[in-house]
Amino acid sequence: MTTADGAGPVLATKLAVPPVPARLVDRPRLTRLLDAARDLPVTAVTAGAGEGKTTLLAAWARAQATAPAWVTLDAGDDDPGRFWAHVTAALATCAPAATDRARAALAVPSVDPLAVAVPELLNGLAGGRRVVLVLDDVHEVTDRQVTEGLEFLVDHLPPALHLVLGSRAEPPVGLPRLRARGQLAEVRAADLRFRGTEARALLSGLVHGVPHPATTDRLLARTEGWAAGLVLGGLALRARAGGRPGPPGPPGEQAAVEYLTAEVLAQLPGSDRDLLACAAALDRVSGPLCDAVLERTRSGAALAALERRGVPVTATGSGWHRVHPVFGAAVLGELDRPDRVCDLRRRAADWLLAGGLVEEAVRARIAAGDLPGAAAALVEHSAAFIESGRVGVLAELGARITPQSGVGVPFLLTLAWAAGASGRLDRVPGLLDRAEQRLREGAADPGFPGFASTAGAVAALRSVYGSSGDGHLAREQARRAVAAEDDARLPGWVVARVALGGALLAAGAPDDALPVLEQAWSAPALAVLPTFSRLEVAGLLAWCRVQAQDPAGADRLLRSTADDAAALESQLGDAAAAAVALLHASAALLAEQAGDLRTARRRSARAVELVAVSAHPAVAVLVLLAAAGTALACGEGRAALALLDRARESAGEAAVDAGGRITELTARAGGQVARHSRAVLLEPLTDREVSVLRALSGPLSRREIAGELHLSLNTVKGYTASLYRKLGVDSRAEAVARAAELGLA
């Protein structure tokens, strides 16, 4: 197991090209297709289970002079942070320098990967040498944020990157557009089906001799060249002397299950069937895991022996094995004892948890139906997810448990925090409501780590993450949190006051926010907070000091935190946004007041870059309005209009009343802007970009556009940024004007 610069544990086995069968059948007609496709942006290998997709891709990858970047996806990658952590780690094996900034961006769980990591990845790879990225089992990821991010990658692939997708179904990532443009190479089930010579070579290796041509022809006809069917038929031929006919019918999965049960499993001793039952019940197994679950020894050697004998068990590296899903269905179907399967999973979860494999343990408990046990494991080991930056995974796992009624208050609060920190704000209010309902119903109050009371934790979380842009609710809940958190030695004391200070600042009351934030900054508990959190407090306080006409106090604070801020930004890059954006913006205001417009413009531009990455909308409004004022002072009216465009959007999201200030600055900027000549498009727009551009021409906000186009807000923001760059504009108004000129709206 490795890490991607803090982006969370990355399983090294998922980044390794899978092993190929010892008796691999050479299929040059297919490898030639893959070789020829390297000049196109994308290759898709799409076929059902057992068709040989992974074997083909692995054999092709191992034959390349330069090994491609490889990721074997599974259900655990159905989370944006985890998905992009594995993709970035894989690409780092081929182009380490090109992925540095993307890996840093993924280190902060609150940063949407599409906002920073994916653009940084594309920029880093744009000027480098040719790289091939293989994503196998793409059908395992269905989360909309993941598929939209992958579609964005497909739409903006740099020439140096060739993407290969292996999947059981066509991935929903814009392949029809590529197909229509002749930019997609495809290998489908019909291509993967074995032909006469290939089938004879495969069966000869399995049967240890050359089967009679008539036998081969019959099996080839019955299986229609399906790879798994041929393998199963070969195993059956080897296992019986005379050979009775297999089950009739097409080689579908149900027929394959019946075939496996009758012709393969029946030939295995009971000890091997027990071992396979354990392996089939889990995503992957090792020898020690099976030894512990089955109370036996030498399971690792037995798994390896089964693989050597041609049973569909595959080594995935480092002593772990995986059973082919069709074969696993046959094994579990023969067992016909749901209670036995659940027991295997529960015993495996205990072993995994003891070994520090928390995520796999939780998944095993969920699969076993042990939802209270899964919830308890998440609460007890939440620090493991937080420290490794896998808050999104914690939220995803918890979401599988929350519909059940037996979970405790600490679990609900842990999940609410994880949802908020990973950007899933829509989940937070419901989780907090359930926690409060449980307490009202008389559930024991076990407290919440770091807080003086559970009520204080609930109120602080609701203020920061669960107020849905309602400023009054945010302030009310923050005051409740302050009243409940009365121990300045606990982090909850600081969190409550920062929540109140931020809510007051968002309401346009910096004078009221200042003393509250001063209290938070001087609290003993501040020292136990991580650097990231301390810098967030410093940014809010520095801003308030500037607004209170205390430039000396603001300057002292900025100087005292400068080293920590620089180190964090150097380490995380744009992913440090939430911690340092207001520090940059405060420094810009001080420089502008001192007449140093060059420094003011540089620092405000950096703050603007950062709030585009990650910021509460109310903070974004503060930064964007200040930056627009600085741009005007520098005579850059066009840039000011673009900033005001963004401020207006953020103000709507945060329910901030900044209309008067926006109107004032817009009028001033309009006087500075001259009409620009029409530019020539050097880079064509994608279909998605055209759709977004047409929507921008209407009255909808970007959030409403996202709903109309069935995209996430961050995806729309990503396409908007790409549009502005291609059109040579800086604001929505200019983009709409250019669309009219070009006949696109």
Q: What single DSSP character describes residue 162?
A: E
Asked if the structure places residue 235 within a domain, the reply is yes
pLDDT of amino acid 682: 64
**Residue 601 pLDDT exceeds 90:** yes
pLDDT of amino acid 34: 92
pLDDT of amino acid 245: 47
175 with 51, same domain: the answer is yes
Of residues 136 and 19, the one with the higher pLDDT is 136
Residue 535 pLDDT grade (very low, low, confident, very high; cuts 50, 70, 90): very high
Pick from 64-68, 210-214, 392-396, 583-587: least confident: 210-214
Domain final residue, candidates 267, 295, 318: 267
184 with 202, same domain: the answer is no
Among the listed residues 546, 23, 553, 84, the one whose alpha carbon sits nearest the alpha carbon of residue 309: 23
Which three-class secondary structure string do you get for 137-161?
CHHHCCCHHHHHHHHHHHHCCCCCE
Pairing mode, strands 161-167 and 320-323: unpaired
pLDDT of amino acid 675: 34
**Residue 241 pLDDT exceeds 50:** no
Residue 655 pLDDT grade (very low, low, confident, very high; cuts 50, 70, 90): low
pLDDT of amino acid 608: 92
pLDDT digits 0-9 by tens, 676-698 = 334 456 677 777 887 788 788 88
95 with 232, same domain: the answer is no
Residue 652 pLDDT grade (very low, low, confident, very high; cuts 50, 70, 90): low
pLDDT of amino acid 670: 62
**What is the percent of the chain with per-residue pLDDT over 90, rounded to a whole number?**
28
- pTM for the whole thing? 0.66
Distance CA 611, CA 152 (A): 21
b/e for 670-682, b at 16 or more Cβ within 10 A?
A: eeebeeeeeeeee
112 with 134, same domain: the answer is yes
Distance CA 645, CA 629 (A): 13
pLDDT digits 0-9 by tens, 309-331 = 767 788 877 888 888 777 777 78
pLDDT of amino acid 513: 93
pLDDT digits 0-9 by tens, 188-222 = 888 888 888 887 887 777 666 667 777 777 777 77
Of residues 316 and 159, the one with the higher pLDDT is 159
pLDDT of amino acid 306: 83
Of residues 484 and 98, the one with the higher pLDDT is 484
Contacts of residue 327, defined as CB under 8 A and 6 or more positions apart, other chains included, come to 260, 264, 276, 280, 311, 312, 313
pLDDT of amino acid 674: 35
Of residues 494 and 673, the one with the higher pLDDT is 494
Which three-class secondary structure string do you get for 62-96?
HCCCCCCEEEECCHHHCCHHHHHHHHHHHHHCCCC
Residue 484 pLDDT grade (very low, low, confident, very high; cuts 50, 70, 90): very high
Average pLDDT over residues 329-336: 74
CB of 409 closer than 8 Å to CB of 439:
yes
Average pLDDT over residues 122-137: 89
Asked if the structure places residue 153 within a domain, the reply is yes
96 with 7, same domain: the answer is yes
542 with 608, same domain: the answer is yes
**Residue 99 pLDDT exceeds 60:** yes
Average pLDDT over residues 407-430: 84
**Residue 256 pLDDT exceeds 50:** yes
Residue 246 pLDDT grade (very low, low, confident, very high; cuts 50, 70, 90): very low
Q: What is the CATH number of the domain that holds 700?
A: 1.10.10.10
Residue 388 pLDDT grade (very low, low, confident, very high; cuts 50, 70, 90): low
Domain final residue, candidates 235, 267, 299: 267
Residue 110 pLDDT grade (very low, low, confident, very high; cuts 50, 70, 90): low
H or E stretch covering 317 = strand 313-317
Residue 7 pLDDT grade (very low, low, confident, very high; cuts 50, 70, 90): very low
**Residue 178 pLDDT exceeds 50:** yes
Residue 725's alpha-carbon distances to 51, 123, 721, in angstroms, are 43, 14, 6
pLDDT of amino acid 677: 34
pLDDT of amino acid 247: 42
Asked if the structure places residue 48 within a domain, the reply is yes
Among 220-224, 269-273, 369-373, 669-673, which range has the highest average pLDDT?
Answer: 369-373
209 with 61, same domain: the answer is no
Asked if the structure places residue 436 within a domain, the reply is no
H or E stretch covering 122 = helix 117-126
56 with 151, same domain: the answer is yes
Full domain range(s) for residue 123: 2-192
114 with 8, same domain: the answer is yes
CB of 724 closer than 8 Å to CB of 735:
yes
pLDDT digits 0-9 by tens, 609-650 = 888 877 777 788 889 999 999 998 888 887 887 888 888 777
Asked if the structure places residue 593 within a domain, the reply is yes
Asked if the structure places residue 284 within a domain, the reply is no
Distance CA 196, CA 198 (A): 6
Distance CA 642, CA 95 (A): 35
Of residues 69 and 76, the one with the higher pLDDT is 69
pLDDT of amino acid 255: 58
What's the mean pLDDT when you consider all of the chain?
A: 82
H-type alpha helices, 156-208: 175-180, 189-192, 196-207
Distance CA 82, CA 397 (A): 13
**Residue 562 pLDDT exceeds 90:** yes
Residue 561 pLDDT grade (very low, low, confident, very high; cuts 50, 70, 90): very high
Question: Dmax over Cα atoms in the chain, in whole Å?
Answer: 96
Of residues 241 and 565, the one with the higher pLDDT is 565
Q: What is the CATH number of the domain that holds 661?
A: 1.25.40
95 with 171, same domain: the answer is yes
Compute the CA torsion angle 379, 385, 387, 390 (nearest 10 deg): -150
Among the listed residues 3, 31, 152, the one whose alpha carbon sits nearest the alpha carbon of residue 718: 152
Of residues 190 and 495, the one with the higher pLDDT is 495
Asked if the structure places residue 469 within a domain, the reply is no
**Residue 402 pLDDT exceeds 70:** no
pLDDT of amino acid 234: 74
pLDDT of amino acid 382: 81
Our count of domains for the chain comes to: 4
Distance CA 243, CA 232 (A): 13
Asked if the structure places residue 595 within a domain, the reply is yes
Pick from 101-115, 131-145, 495-509: least confident: 101-115
H or E stretch covering 262 = helix 253-263
709 with 590, same domain: the answer is no
Would you give the distance in Å from CA 21 to the centre of its chain? 32
**Residue 46 pLDDT exceeds 70:** yes
pLDDT of amino acid 193: 84
Average pLDDT over residues 41-65: 88
pLDDT of amino acid 120: 84
Residue 5 pLDDT grade (very low, low, confident, very high; cuts 50, 70, 90): very low
601 with 516, same domain: the answer is yes
b/e for 320-339, b at 16 or more Cβ within 10 A?
A: bbbbbebbbbbbbebbeeee
Pick from 35-49, 578-592, 599-613, 677-691: least confident: 677-691
Residue 49 pLDDT grade (very low, low, confident, very high; cuts 50, 70, 90): confident
